[in-house]
């Protein structure tokens, strides 16, 4: 794999270390090469002349490649603008096509694109059950089974949580849904390409994916829709995407996501770096790992430091050219506490001092050591001015 050139922070003149890959990822060089190669194929795929037909052919080849990657049929791959649209399309599209089913089941730690879509549907008369999770962030599967009724339309449970990295047992949930004749949808944004996803084997009916989480430009996503699913489009117009998602196709994005699935993942290396970093950070007094230690995606660390502000810590690291997150980037403008950390019962004085670190193929041991050193330094600095003191 081609490595990115090391970037230098213009303010500090130090190496920049990017550790917010759950929010977005760099565009890989092989993807940029694919974009440049495809840039002269600019014709509208809906036109009928040769140049346009060649572009359409490229789209269909990409669709087939992605379908094969998840063991789906090409006509089950619908291209969207990203996971937020895919999540909205999945739930609202099912609701439009199945108006007699007025019950939805989801969890308390879903992405805002699911939570807010469910809230919107509640305002239209839908009943939504938000299932609890345990202190590791694992959803209560038995409770989901108990909540399913003849009125249940869909169960929507994310595969990997975007904040704490918890991996949900979606195959067990999907099997229950199949037995009960209920649709199962999963937001697979944080697991796609990291964890093998065979949609047939896992009994998935609908699945949302985002390109920019796997090294493509922003603005491209996928909604897998199993053949036979009763669903209506949210966007009407020219009839593209099997008449399910109108609008001229994002050809560059489609080619990008098809190329990105080829990029090998250094799973073993990332897991080793993640575990090493967790061990070193937990040596800091008053530190808590949030989420599961074992059922966790291999590049995620969500950690809390007692009695300090995560935002202050993030900004101090930013001054050093180190980029981490305080939670979900999609809702980081909000000053509210993390609904995910609240759901797993993280104590108040730890919630406020939490940061999320998500590593990538490009992350090195040297970078991790630098971040550990800087974190220890900045946490100590913030604790000196904090009114909340650790007890000996």
Nearest to residue 309, comparing CAs of 285, 282, 274, 337? 337
Least confident of 6-15, 89-98, 213-222, 230-239: 6-15
Question: What average pLDDT does this structure show over 300-327?
Answer: 96
Torsion of CA 90, 195, 353, 19, to 10 degrees: -110
Question: What average pLDDT does this structure show over 25-37?
Answer: 96
Question: What whole-number distance in Å separates Cα of residue 137 and Cα of residue 208?
Answer: 20
Question: What average pLDDT does this structure show over 95-113?
Answer: 98
Active site residues: 330
Cβ 265 vs Cβ 193: under 8 Å: yes
User: Please, which residues have CB within 8 angstroms of residue 348's CB and are 6 or more apart in sequence?
Assistant: none
4: confidence class by pLDDT, cuts 50, 70, 90:
very low
H or E, element range at 50: helix 50-69
Which pLDDT value is given to residue 329?
44
Question: What average pLDDT does this structure show over 313-317?
Answer: 97
337: confidence class by pLDDT, cuts 50, 70, 90:
confident
- Calculate what percentage of the chain has a pLDDT beyond 70: 94
CATH classification number, 17-27+266-385, choose in 3.40.640.10, 3.40.50.300, 3.90.1150.10, 3.40.30.10: 3.90.1150.10
Which pLDDT value is given to residue 9?
62
DSSP character at residue 78: E
Which pLDDT value is given to residue 128?
98
Question: What average pLDDT does this structure show over 236-254?
Answer: 96
Which pLDDT value is given to residue 328?
45
State the average pLDDT for the chain.
94
What is the per-residue pLDDT across 35-84, written as a single tens digit (0 to 9) for each?
A: 999 888 899 999 999 999 999 999 999 999 999 999 999 999 999 999 99
Which pLDDT value is given to residue 390?
83
Which pLDDT value is given to residue 60?
98
Q: Is the pLDDT at 11 greater than 70, yes or no?
A: no
What is the per-residue pLDDT across 355-382, written as a single tens digit (0 to 9) for each?
A: 999 999 999 999 999 999 999 999 999 9
Q: Is the pLDDT at 305 greater than 80, yes or no?
A: yes
Cβ 253 vs Cβ 217: under 8 Å: yes
Which pLDDT value is given to residue 332?
47
Nearest to residue 189, comparing CAs of 217, 205, 165, 153? 165
Q: Is the pLDDT at 246 greater than 50, yes or no?
A: yes
Looking at CATH, the fold of the domain delimited by 29-260 is given as 3.40.640
- Segments making up each domain of the chain, as ranges: 17-27+266-385, 29-260
Q: Is the pLDDT at 1 greater than 50, yes or no?
A: no
Question: What average pLDDT does this structure show over 2-20?
Answer: 69
Which pLDDT value is given to residue 336?
73
């Amino acid at each position: 794999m081609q490595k990115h050139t090391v970037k230098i922070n213009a303010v500090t003149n130090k190496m920049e270390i990017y550790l917010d890959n759950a929010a977005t990822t760099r565009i890989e060089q092989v993807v940029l090469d694919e974009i440049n190669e495809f840039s002269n194929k600019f014709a509208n795929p809906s036109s009928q002349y040769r140049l346009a037909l060649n572009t359409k052919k490229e789209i269909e080849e990409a669709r087939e490649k992605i379908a094969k990657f998840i063991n789906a049929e090409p006509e089950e791959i619908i291209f969207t603008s990203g996971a937020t649209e895919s999540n909205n399309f999945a739930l609202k599209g099912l609701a439009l096509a199945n108006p007699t089913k007025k019950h939805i089941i989801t969890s308390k730690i879903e992405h805002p694109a699911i939570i807010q879509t469910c809230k919107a549907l509640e305002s239209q008369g839908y009943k939504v059950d938000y299932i609890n999770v345990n202190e590791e962030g694992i959803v209560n599967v038995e409770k989901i089974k108990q909540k399913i009724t003849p009125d249940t339309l869909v169960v929507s449970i994310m595969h990997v949580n975007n904040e704490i990295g918890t991996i949900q047992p979606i195959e067990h949930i999907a099997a229950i849904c199949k037995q009960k004749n209920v649709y199962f949808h999963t937001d697979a944004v944080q697991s796609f390409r990291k964890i093998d996803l065979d949609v047939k084997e896992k009994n998935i009916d609908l699945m949302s994916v985002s390109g920019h989480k796997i090294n493509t430009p922003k603005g491209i996503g996928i909604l897998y829709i199993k053949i036979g699913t009763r669903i209506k489009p949210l966007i009407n117009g020219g009839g593209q995407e099997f008449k399910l998602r109108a609008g001229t196709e994002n050809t560059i994005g489609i080619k990008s996501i098809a190329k990105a699935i080829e990029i090998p993942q250094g799973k073993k290396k990332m897991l080793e770096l993640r575990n090493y970093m967790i061990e070193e950070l937990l040596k800091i007094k008053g530190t808590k790992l949030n989420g599961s230690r074992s059922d966790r995606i291999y590049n995620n660390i969500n950690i809390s430091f007692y009695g300090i502000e995560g935002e202050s810590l993030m900004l101090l690291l930013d001054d050093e050219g180190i980029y981490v997150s305080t939670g979900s980037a999609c809702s980081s403008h909000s000053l509210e506490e993390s609904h995910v950390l609240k759901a797993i019962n993280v104590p108040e004085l730890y919630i406020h001092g939490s940061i999320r670190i998500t590593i990538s193929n490009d992350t090195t041991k040297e970078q991790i050591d630098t971040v550990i050193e800087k974190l220890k330094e900045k946490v100590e600095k913030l604790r000196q001015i904090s009114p909340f003191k650790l007890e000996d």
